[in-house]
Amino acid sequence: MKSTCLGRTFFFFPIPLNLTTIVPVRKTLIKYNCCYSTMSDSDHTDPSKLTSQNVQNYPVPLSPPLPLISKDLELSRAMSASSKSSLYSTSRRDFIYEDEWLIAVNKPQGVYCESVFESVRKVLSESIDPGIEASPLELHLANRLDRDTSGLMLITKSHKVAAKLVKAFTTHTVTKTYIALCIGSVPKWEKITIRSGHGRSKFGAWRVYAASDVGRKLPGGSVVRDMETSFELLSVNGQGILKEPSIFEQDESKVIIVEERAVINREGKKDEILVRASPKSGRSHQIRLHCQYLGIFIRGDVKYEGLHEWRGRTYDGHELHAESLSFEHPITGHQLVFKAPLPSWATEAWHQ
């Protein structure tokens, strides 16, 4: 069946579906020198305040609570995003891809997913001939991005397609890549994979937990879940080659199995570091948390220690972009690869 591509390029490639296939590795603990803030969370997350009973019952998070500065800044950003989202509109020319079953769109930074979704619904509704009786639109968001994360979003046009794509995301058969601009000390690796636990207690913030804590209960009834991300270094201070997404080769000497707090040297020289991230699991704030653990904090990501002021400029959101999606079309079975145009901060970090 013929597909239509409007305004962007899409590709059909017979490539392996899962680019992050895991092979057995020995546990390799890589420590980073870290100096964490002392702000306590609203839950069990400040180890200095844990009772012996709590220590016995609940796992202890290995990443710090939210910095004090993040509360006011996040509130201000949320208010700004609400205003920006209410004015957001799109057109078919902005679609990266569209066929009779699904649409791929490029979400801008600082706009809520729901606003993009409603704008797409409006575009489709306006294209229906008023003289023709049409079935109600069955639109669904197949994936979500954080408010300040830009990039690829998928919207399906039927309940059946939505169910298949949601299953593909939850079973990790959709391959995703992200681009992030970070501030920190230059990594000693070119490619690395990090595995940890992920969770939060009731009303708490998302935190990194030890890999061995996966499956353990947290306050409030949730459990620690597994979380794995592969990273590839693209450029440092504008020096490097912005590569096409590649298969992340597993190397047991370059796998971090998180079992203890990171140690990060904060006195060292700070550089601009452009990385590509490929999350195997799909946990909330996954890439942001793993960048924090590695000591390369995403610029503007005040929740996870990223600088919102850098070299005389203030940043109103974190610089993380959903670059590509690769998956099997839920109806035709064709292999789809979508790429969203890079935002200006990514191209500037590459070419400066």
Task: Report, as residue numbers or ranges, the catalytic residues.
Answer: 146
In the DSSP assignment, the letter for residue 223 is B
* Angle between helical axes of 69-87 and 113-126 (0-180°, round to 10): 0
- Helices (H) and strands (E) counted in the chain, each on its own, are 6, 17
CA distances from 142 to 8, 154, 174, 210, 273 (A): 20, 5, 11, 30, 30
In the DSSP assignment, the letter for residue 47 is G
In angstroms, the CA 187 to CA 277 distance is: 14
Nearest Cα neighbor of 330 from 148, 104, 221, 168 is 168
Helical H segments across the chain, by residue range: 52-57, 69-87, 113-126, 159-170, 286-294, 344-351
CA atoms within 13 A on the CB side of 178: 28
CA distances from 17 to 171, 243, 249, 319, 325 (A): 12, 19, 15, 27, 11
Nearest Cα neighbor of 228 from 4, 18, 76, 34 is 18
Q: Is there a contact between 90 and 130 (Cβ–Cβ < 8 Å)?
A: no
Q: What values do phi and psi take at 275, rounded to 5? A: -130, 155
Return the ∠ at Cα 35 (arms to 30 and 36), rounded to 5°.
105
